[in-house]
Amino acid sequence: MGFFNALKDILGGEKCPACGTPGVRRSGSEIRCLNPVCQYFNPSFAPSASSPQPPQQTSQQAQPPQGRPSGWSSAPRSTPAGSGPAPAGSVAIQYRNFQGQDKTFYAERSSLHREKNHIRATVAPKGQPISLSRDRIQNLKEVENQIPLQRVEPGQDWPNKKERQVLSYHKKHGTTSPLYEKIRAKYPKW
């Protein structure tokens, strides 16, 4: 029975209270998560570990978490225990939502995309795409510099409806006009 319980826990048992990753294990008051960025991550529990090692007690694990856990995006930045370093290839986005709460999202750099006044990104740990208003991003310049292929320069306004129509028409038909050249000079990457 112990083998099947362990298999059930790994394949879809409990979810981590901090990051929501399925497959968390509990042993007494200790929580062990599979997510390497989670505060409850234990390297000996990782699937790639061939031989399990006994868990090491740290001062953070010995004390029960107070308040909301410092997960990826659910906890405010002011929690006592930080969520640790961001995974490689990710961008930390500091965001203030409409309720005035400060949140930090970790997004894959390759998934960042600007759509008019919003930035779309796939965020950790579940890989959900979200859309964030540029007006509420606290570190907008850092985030815009990380966007891989931008049609407009960071901080530049999006072309208006008529400019987009002219740009799209001439790009589609492979033609040019004085107005197109003027708009193209304003938006060279379009």
Q: How confident is the model over 158-183, as pLDDT tens digits?
A: 789 999 899 999 989 999 999 999 99
In residues, how long is the chain?
Answer: 190
Percent of the chain at pLDDT > 90 equals 21
Residue 53 dihedral angles phi and psi, to the nearest 5°: -110, 155
Identify the pLDDT of residue 110: 84
pLDDT at 68 over 80: no
User: Long-range contacts: 47-54, Cβ < 8 Å, 24+?
Assistant: 47/10
What are the Cα distances from residue 52, in Å, to 42, 145, 181?
10, 42, 64
Spatial distance between the Cα atoms of 40 and 93, rounded to a whole number of angstroms: 22
pLDDT at site 148? 72
Q: CB of 74 within 8 A of CB of 101?
A: no
Kindly tell me if the per-residue pLDDT of 109 is higher than 70: yes
pLDDT over 50 at 72, yes or no: no
pLDDT of amino acid 126: 82
Alpha helical stretches, state H, the chain = 2-12, 59-62, 140-146, 161-173, 178-186
Q: Read off the pLDDT of residues 75-93 as tens digits, 9 standing for 90 and up.
A: 444 433 344 556 667 889 9
